[in-house]
Amino acid sequence: MARSLALLMLLFNSSLLLPPASSDDDAAAAAVPTGGAAADELALLSFRSSLVSQGGSSLASWNTTSGHGQHCTWAGVACGGRRDRVVELRLRSFNLSGTISPSLGNLSFLAKLHLGGNHLSGEIPPELGRLSRLRRLNMSGNSLQGSIPAAIGGCFRLIEMDLTINQLEGKIPLQIGASMKNLAYLYLEGNRLSGQIPRSLAELPSIQELSLGSNGLSGEIPPALGNLTGLSFLSLSENSLSGGIPSSLCNLTSLSSLYLNKNTLSGTIPSCLGNLNSLLELALSDNTLSGAIPSSLGRLSRLSSLHLSSNNLSGLIPDPIWNISSLTVFGVQYNMLSGMLPANAFSTLPHLQEVYMDNNQFHGHIPASVANASNISMLTFGVNSFSGVVPEEIGRLRNLGTLVLAETLLEAEGPNDWKFMTALTNCSNLQHVEMGACKFGGVLPDSVSNLSSSLVYLSIGANKISGSLPRDIGNLINLESLVLFNNSLTGSLPSSFSKLKNLHRLILFNNKLSGYLQLTIGNLTQITNLELYGNAFSGTIPSTLGNMTRLFELNLAHNNFIGAIPTEIFSIPTLSETLDVSHNKLEGSIPKEIGELKNIVEFHADSNKLSGEIPSTISGCQLLQHLSLQNNFLNGNIPIALTQLAGLDTLDLSGNNLSGQIPKSLGDMPLLHSLNLSFNSFQGEVPTNGVFANASEIYIQGNANICGGIPELRLPQCSLKSTKKKKHQILLIALTVCLVSTLAIFSLLYMLLTCHKRRKKEVPAMTSIQGHPMITYKQLVKATDGFSPANLLGSGSFGSVYKGELDSQHGESTSSVAVKVLKLETPKAVKSFTAECEALRNMRHRNLVKIVTICSSIDNKGNDFKAIVYDFMPNGSLEDWLHPETNCDQAEQRHLNLHQRVNILLDVACALDYLHCLGPESVVHCDIKSSNVLLDADMVAHVGDFGLARILVKESSLMQQSTSSMGFRGTIGYAAPEYGVGNIASTHGDIYSYGILVLETVSGKRPTDTTFGPGLSLRQYVEPGLHGRLMDVVDRKLVLDSKSWVQTPDISPCKEINECLVSLLRLGLSCSQELPSSRMQTGDVISELHDIKESLSMASIM
C-alpha cells in the first residue's frame, strides 16, 4: 500500500511539470495507473493536447479507449526494456502543428526524439535538457522560435542535434560546446542565430559535422576550430562573417567539405588549403576575397566541386587547376580573372559537369579541348571578351544542357563559321542556348532545326544575322522562347512554325521579315507574347490569332498589314497588356467587340486607314489607360461612353474626321492627362474643366470651328445669340473694368502701406499647381499640429515629411496627407523643390504619388517657406516592408509574399513606362529606390520623391537635359555607374536603379548591405541563383512562406515558383547591366513581369 502511495505521489509531482491537457485527455489522465510507464503515457497524452493539428489520422491511435498501457503500440512510439519505457519518439513529417509540450522532458528513458518536417511553433522547452539518455534530437523543418535554451546542455549524451530550417534567434549557447562532449553532428543551419561563433564549439572532441550556415553570425572565424581534427564537414556559409580565412583550418586534414561562401571574408585564399587532401568540396564564392587563385589548390586530387565565384580574384587560372581530374563543378564567374585559356585546358577533366566562367575578363579563343570534358552539362562563357569562331568540337559534349555565349566578341560570317551549330545537333539534352549580343552574322544554318527536341530557350537576338529563318524550325517542338530580335532576317515565317505548340514567347521585332502570316499560326495556343513589330509583313491579320487564349501582349505595329482588324482577337480573355496594330494599312471600322477586352491596358490602332465611328462598346475596356486612334479616317462624334473609362491616361484622336461638340465630360475623367483632338472637324465651345484647364495637356489645333476654352489656347470667344445679350455683355465688361480699376487702386495703396511690415507677419500667399486647391502656411501648421515631432514620418537631405489631416474646402471632412517641408538652408534644396514641381506638374498616373498642392510662402518668423503636399500612403514604403526595424512592433507582421512583390514591381515598371514613354514629357526620375516606392491602403505601389527628376526633350535622336543639373544623381547602390563619371541623366539610368530594386525585392538585401565587402555587389550576390543555388540568394522570408517549395523544388507547382524567382533575378540583372544600351526597355520589363505574374497565378491554382 505504501509503495503504491509513493508511486502516486511521484506521478503527481511529475504531472506538475505538464501543461493542462485537453478535456478528453483530462478524463484519460485521471484514470492512468501508477508507475514509470504510466508517467510516459501521461507525458505523451500531454504532448498530444498541446497540438493544434494532429496530422489528420496520424495520431488517431493515441488514445486510451482500449485501456491504459497501450502507448507502446501508438504510431511513432517505440518502447524498450523490461518496463516498456518510451525510448524513441519518431514523428517525422506527421503534419503536426502547435507547440512542443514541456512534458516530453518527463520521458526519462528517451534516446531518440524526431519531430522534423512538421509545422511546430513556439519555443524549444528547456525541460528537454532533463533527457540525460537522449542521443539523437531532430526538430528540423519547423517554425520554432526563440533562442536555443542553455538547458539543452543537460543532454550530455547527445550524439546528433538537428535544428535546421526554423526561426531560432539569439546566440548559440556556450553549453553546447562545454557539456556535450559526445556530440558528433551539430546542424543549426537555416535559422536567425546571431552573435559570434562560440569558441567552446572548438572543445567538441567528437565532432564530425558542423553546420552553422544561413544564419546571421558575425565576427571572425575562430582559429581554434582548426583543433577539431576529426571534422569532415564544416559549413559556415551565408552569414556575416568577416576577416580572413584562418590558416589553422588547414589542420583539418579529415575535412571533405568546406563551405565558407556568402560571407564578407576578405584577404587572399590561404595556399595551405592545398594540403587538405581529403577535400571533396570547397566553396568560397560570394565573398570579397582578392588576389590570385593559389596554384596549390591543384594538389587537391580528390576535389569534386570548386566554387570561387563572385569575389575580386584576379590574374590567370593557375595551370595546376586544369589537372584536377576529379572536378565535376568549376565556378569562377563574376571575378576579374583574365588571360587566355590554355589550348589543353579541358584535356584532363573527364568528370567535369558544370563550368561557370562568365562575367570575367577572359579573351582569346575558346579552346577546342573543351570537347575532352565530355560530361559537361552546363557551360557559361558569356560576358567576356572571347573572340573568334565557336569551335565545332563543342558538339561532342553529348550531355550539354545549357550553353551561354552571350555578350562576347564571338563571331560567324560564312557557313564554315556556323559549323558549331551543326555540331550542337549531337547534344540531345540541350535545353538552353544564349548567344545574344555577339557578332554573329551571315545566314542562320538550317541545322538549327535539328537541335535537340528538348530545347526550350533559344536566344540569338541583337546580332547581325541575315537570310531567312530555317524552314524546319518547327522541329523544335518543345521550344518555349524564341528570341531573334534586332537582326536582319528576311523572308516569311516558315509554315513549320505551327508545330511549335509549346511556344510562349516569339520575339522577332526589328528585322526585315515579310510575307503573309499563315492561318496556322493560330496553332500556337500557348503563346503569351507575340512581338512582330518593325518588319514588313503583309496581307491580312489571321483571324486564327483568336485561338491564342493565353496571349498577354500582341504587337504587330510597323508592318504592311491590310484588311480589317479581325474580331476574333477581341475574344482573347488574357489579352491585358498591349494590343498594337498601329502603322499598318488596316481598313474598315473598329470592331464593336473591342469592349470584350475587359483587362486591356493599351490599344494602339493609329496610322492606319480605319473609318466609321468609334464604337460605344469601348466603355467595356475598364482598365484601358492608353488609347491611340490618330491618323485614320474615323468620323462621327466622340461617344459619351468613352468618358466612362475612368483610368484613361492618354487619348489621341487627332488626324481624323471627327465632328460635333467636344464632350464636357472628357474633363471629368480623373486620370486623363493628355488629350489630342487636333486636326478634326469639331465645333462649338471648348470645355474648361479637368484636362481642359491645362494648356500643356490638350492639343486642339486644326479645328476651324471651335471657340472658348481657357485663355492660353487663344481661341475666339463664342458668339452670343442676340444683340441684347451683346449689349448686356458690353455693359457687364464696362462695369467689370470700373470695379477692377477701383479695386486695383485700393490694393496698390494698401500694398504701399503694408510692404515694410510684410516680412514681420505671416503671409498666407501660396503658389498652387493648376487644378489643385489653394493652401496657406497657416493651414499646414494646423494640419500637422504645428509640425509636431509626433507627426514626423521621416527626414532626408532636402526636407522632412509630416503626416497631416487637411480640412476639405468646405470644412465638412478631413483627408490624410503627407507634407514635405523643404530645408531651404540646405544647398540645392530649392532646385530639388523646383525639379519636383516641374516634373509633377502635368503627371497623372495611378502608380505615381499624387500631388495635392504646393505652398511657397513665409512662415510666422518671416522666413521663406516651401512645402509639397501629397496623398498619404498608409502602408509606408517598400523599404519598410523589406527591411523592418528590429525594434518596431510591426517588424514581425510586416511581410510581403511573392505575389505582392511581383505586383509592386509591376506597378513601379508601369510608372517608369509612363514617365519615360507615355507622359506629356519624358521624365527621368533619377532616384528609384525602395524608400521612394510608397504603398497605399490596397498595397498598390506609387513612385514618389521627384526631387532629382530631369525633364528631357527630344532633339533629333538625342535626349538632352532641359533643367539644371544637381550634381550626382540618385542614391549610392542604386545610381547607375555612368552617373559616377558625369554622364547626363537618362532613362537608362532609371532602368539600372529599377534592376537593383528588383534584386533587392527578391533577395531581401539592400544594395549597400553590410555583408557586402569591397568589390561585392548585389548583382554578384544574386548571380548564383541563376545556376542552381536559388535558395542561397532568395529572401529567407519567402523561403519560410513555402517550405514545401524548398523541399520539393522540382515538383509542380513548386517548380513554377522556382522558375518565377529565377525569372525575377534574370530580369533584375538584365536591367542593371553596366552598359546602358544593353538594359531592357520598360515595355519589355512589363511584359516579362506579366509572364511571371501569370505563372504564379497558375502555380497557385495547381
Which among 417, 907, 927, 945 is annotated as catalytic? 927
Inform me whether the pLDDT recorded for 567 exceeds 60: yes
What pLDDT shows up at residue 450? Answer: 95
What pLDDT shows up at residue 942? Answer: 93
Residues 857 and 948 in one domain: no
Percent of the chain with pLDDT over 70: 84
pLDDT band at 646 (very low <50, low <70, confident <90, very high): confident
Inform me whether the pLDDT recorded for 545 exceeds 80: yes
Interatomic CA distance for residues 995 and 1007, integer angstroms? 11
C-alpha cell of residue 560: 504592311
Residues 839 and 932 in one domain: no
Residues 964 and 1043 in one domain: yes
Q: How many domains does the chain have?
A: 3
Examine residue 200 and state whether it is found in any structural domain, yes or no. Answer: no
Interatomic CA distance for residues 293 and 313, integer angstroms? 7
Range scoring the smallest mean pLDDT among 274-278, 397-401, 1070-1074: 1070-1074
Burial class of residue 218, CB neighbours in 10 A (0-12, 13-18, 19+): middle
What pLDDT shows up at residue 843? Answer: 75
DSSP structural state of residue 800:
E
Inform me whether the pLDDT recorded for 587 exceeds 70: yes
Residues 948 and 1008 in one domain: yes
Residues 742 and 797 in one domain: no
Asked if 645 and 669 count as a contact pair (C-beta separation under 8 A), the reply is yes
Instruction: Order the strands of the 96-99 sheet from edge to edge.
Output: 51-54, 96-99, 119-121
Rg (CA), the chain: 35
Range scoring the smallest mean pLDDT among 145-149, 663-667, 824-828: 824-828
pLDDT tens-digit series, residues 768-791: 444 445 578 888 888 888 888 888
Range scoring the smallest mean pLDDT among 358-367, 411-420, 918-927: 918-927
What CATH number corresponds to the domain at position 1083? 1.10.510.10
Inform me whether the pLDDT recorded for 32 exceeds 60: no
Examine residue 803 and state whether it is found in any structural domain, yes or no. Answer: yes
What pLDDT shows up at residue 610? Answer: 96
What pLDDT shows up at residue 888? Answer: 52
pLDDT tens-digit series, residues 649-664: 999 999 999 999 999 9
Examine residue 769 and state whether it is found in any structural domain, yes or no. Answer: yes
Asked if 992 and 1019 count as a contact pair (C-beta separation under 8 A), the reply is no
Asked if 610 and 634 count as a contact pair (C-beta separation under 8 A), the reply is yes
Looking only at the bridges linking them, the beta strands covering 657-660 and 681-686 are: parallel
Asked if 702 and 678 count as a contact pair (C-beta separation under 8 A), the reply is yes
Number of helices (H) and strands (E) in the chain: give both, helices first.
Answer: 17, 62
Examine residue 1025 and state whether it is found in any structural domain, yes or no. Answer: yes
Inform me whether the pLDDT recorded for 957 exceeds 60: no
State phi, psi for 1032 to the nearest 5 degrees.
Answer: -75, -20
Inform me whether the pLDDT recorded for 964 exceeds 70: no
pLDDT tens-digit series, residues 780-829: 888 888 888 888 887 776 778 889 988 765 555 678 888 888 877 766 66
Inform me whether the pLDDT recorded for 600 exceeds 80: yes
Residues 944 and 1009 in one domain: yes
Inform me whether the pLDDT recorded for 967 exceeds 50: no
Picking from 825, 841, 871, the residue at the C-terminal end of a domain is 871
Preceding omega of 470 cis (within 30 degrees of 0): no
Examine residue 221 and state whether it is found in any structural domain, yes or no. Answer: no
512 is in an annotated binding site: no
Interatomic CA distance for residues 394 and 399, integer angstroms? 11
Q: Measuring CA to CA, which residue among 946, 992, 950, 985 is closest to residue 848? A: 946
Range scoring the smallest mean pLDDT among 229-243, 579-593, 1044-1058, 1081-1095: 1044-1058
Q: Among this protein's residues, is 927 annotated catalytic?
A: yes
Interatomic CA distance for residues 1080 and 1078, integer angstroms? 7
What pLDDT shows up at residue 9? Answer: 37
Asked if 639 and 613 count as a contact pair (C-beta separation under 8 A), the reply is yes
> What is the mean pLDDT of the segment spanning 368-381?
96
What pLDDT shows up at residue 1056? Answer: 78
Q: Tell me which amino acid residue 923 is.
A: V
What pLDDT shows up at residue 10? Answer: 38
Burial class of residue 9, CB neighbours in 10 A (0-12, 13-18, 19+): exposed
pLDDT tens-digit series, residues 460-478: 999 999 999 999 999 999 9
Burial class of residue 1044, CB neighbours in 10 A (0-12, 13-18, 19+): exposed
Say how far residue 310 (Cα) sits from the centre of its chain.
21
Contact partners, residue 611, CB within 8 Å, separation at least 6: 587, 588, 589, 632, 633, 634, 635
Query: What burial letters (b/e) apply to 391-403, b meaning 16+ CB within 10 Å?
Result: bbbbbbbeebbbb
What pLDDT shows up at residue 14? Answer: 41
User: Which domain, by its residues, includes 804?
Assistant: 761-871
Question: Mean of the per-residue pLDDT values for the chain?
Answer: 85
Please provide the size of the chain in residues.
1102
Percent of the chain with pLDDT over 90: 63
What pLDDT shows up at residue 806? Answer: 83
Looking only at the bridges linking them, the beta strands covering 505-507 and 233-235 are: unpaired
Highest mean pLDDT among 461-475, 826-840, 938-952: 461-475
Asked if 494 and 514 count as a contact pair (C-beta separation under 8 A), the reply is no
What pLDDT shows up at residue 441? Answer: 96
Examine residue 971 and state whether it is found in any structural domain, yes or no. Answer: yes
What pLDDT shows up at residue 914? Answer: 87
What is the torsion angle, in degrees rounded to the nearest 10, for the CA atoms of residue 171, residue 175, residue 177 and residue 180? Answer: -140
Picking from 816, 840, 871, the residue at the C-terminal end of a domain is 871
Residues 856 and 769 in one domain: yes
Picking from 732, 758, 784, the residue at the C-terminal end of a domain is 758
Inform me whether the pLDDT recorded for 1053 exceeds 80: no
Query: Could you tell me which residue, 291 or 18, shows the higher pLDDT?
Result: 291
Query: Could you tell me which residue, 415 or 838, shows the higher pLDDT?
Result: 415
Interatomic CA distance for residues 255 and 653, integer angstroms? 73
Asked if 585 and 558 count as a contact pair (C-beta separation under 8 A), the reply is no
pLDDT tens-digit series, residues 735-758: 555 565 556 555 555 554 444 343
Asked if 777 and 857 count as a contact pair (C-beta separation under 8 A), the reply is yes
Residues 1075 and 1014 in one domain: yes
Interatomic CA distance for residues 122 and 96, integer angstroms? 13
Residues 859 and 882 in one domain: no
What CATH number corresponds to the domain at position 837? 3.30.200.20
Residues 897 and 990 in one domain: yes
Contact partners, residue 501, CB within 8 Å, separation at least 6: 477, 523, 524, 525, 526
Examine residue 1045 and state whether it is found in any structural domain, yes or no. Answer: yes
Query: Could you tell me which residue, 438 or 976, shows the higher pLDDT?
Result: 438
pLDDT tens-digit series, residues 1005-1041: 998 887 776 667 888 888 888 877 888 889 888 866 6
What pLDDT shows up at residue 454? Answer: 95
Query: What burial letters (b/e) apply to 123-144, b meaning 16+ CB within 10 Å?
Result: ebbebbbbbeebbbbbbbbbbb
pLDDT band at 25 (very low <50, low <70, confident <90, very high): very low
pLDDT band at 953 (very low <50, low <70, confident <90, very high): very low
Inform me whether the pLDDT recorded for 140 exceeds 90: yes
pLDDT band at 923 (very low <50, low <70, confident <90, very high): confident
Query: What burial letters (b/e) apply to 826-863, b meaning 16+ CB within 10 Å?
Result: eebbebbbbbbbbbbbbbbbbbbbbbbbbbbbbbeeee
> What is the mean pLDDT of the segment spanning 696-715?
91
DSSP structural state of residue 82:
T
Residues 942 and 992 in one domain: yes
What is the torsion angle, in degrees rounded to the nearest 10, for the CA atoms of residue 777, residue 781, residue 787 and residue 790? Answer: -150
Query: Could you tell me which residue, 1024 or 402, shows the higher pLDDT?
Result: 402
Residues 1037 and 953 in one domain: yes
Examine residue 474 and state whether it is found in any structural domain, yes or no. Answer: no
> What is the mean pLDDT of the segment spanning 582-602?
94
Interatomic CA distance for residues 551 and 531, integer angstroms? 11
What pLDDT shows up at residue 727? Answer: 42
